[in-house]
Structure 1
Amino acid sequence: MRSNKVVGRGLLECEEALQRLLEGRPVVAEHVGLSRSKITASIVSFEAGFDRGYLKKSRNAHLPILARIEAFRAEANRGGSHSNTKKIDSLEDKLDALATELATVRAQRDRVLTQNLQLWERVRELELAERQIKPFQVRLHP
């Protein structure tokens, strides 16, 4: 069995790991960019340098940190719907802006294609006129 000193140090490590995770500065590469709603006791334990099963509900000393982890998860999940709504609104605004830009670009493309077809037709007419005039040209020899 572990002494209280070791358990206290382990809990302190877990508290620091939880704080790092909440601040978005974890030391474990897997935890970089992890959403608050995904933080679990096993992730906190692993971030603290312990195995994933270090924090347990059966250990009375662990109950406060486990309750805080659950509270952060619940808050993130509750606030997440509002955050997701904002993200969806933002993405819809961007989509509308892109649709408008696409319509503008398509109109420009159609205008340029029309001009190119008109130019091509004019060149064809000029080439045809040149062919018709050439046989009638008289060459003067010096």
Structure 2
Amino acid sequence: MSTKSMSSGLLACEDALQRLLDGKPVLPEHVGLDLSKITASIVSLEAGFDRGYLKKSRKAHLPILAKIEASRAEANKRFGSPNGKRIERLEAKLALLENELSMVQALRDRVLTQNLQLWERVRELEVAESQRKSLKARLHL
């Protein structure tokens, strides 16, 4: 469709979409908007219309609706879907927890080793003490 045959409303929506994609919206609520969140409603509002201006039932609106969908799909592919980002955060958290777990297990093993060594030393001292008492008792006889 040529620009001449496009209605002024569609032109406004085209401009609004481009502003959103460029990160230069005129509406404050659209500043910093994640490109994967761009919808026909948002483009309509940015263009100065109500949310329902762009409709799939209007043939003339189909090209811009396709552009909106394509730009959202591209943003999801480029930046990862919100679920993909969530999975990455959870995987990073899991890696930290696994690292912490291995450190805690190593500490536990060290403490157990020390406790076993202490227990063995106490046993040795008890045996030595009992032998000393036994020797002392024999000497007093």
Corresponding position of 1:74: 73
- Equivalent residue runs for 1:58-137 within 5 Å: 58-81=57-80, 84=85
State whether structure 2 residue 16 is matched by structure 1 residue 9: no
Q: Residue 74 of structure 2 aligns to a residue in which SS?
A: helix
Deviation for aligned residue 1:84: 4.7
Distance 1:81 1:37 in 2: 9
Letter in 2 for 1:63: L
Distance 2:21 2:80 in 1: 19
Aligned-residue Cα RMSD (Å) equals 2.8
Distance 1:33 1:81 in 2: 17
Deviation for aligned residue 1:78: 1.4
Any unmatched runs of 5+ in structure 2?
97-141
Distance 2:7 2:41 in 1: 18
Per-residue displacement from partner, 1:31-87 (whole Å, max 9, x unpaired)? Answer: 0000110000000000000000000000000000000000011111111229959x9
Using structure 2 for the length normalisation, give the TM-score. Answer: 0.54
Distance 1:19 1:35 in 2: 14
- Equivalent residue runs for 1:25-44 within 5 Å: 25-44=24-43
Letter in 2 for 1:25: K
Letter in 2 for 1:27: V
Distance 2:9 2:33 in 1: 22
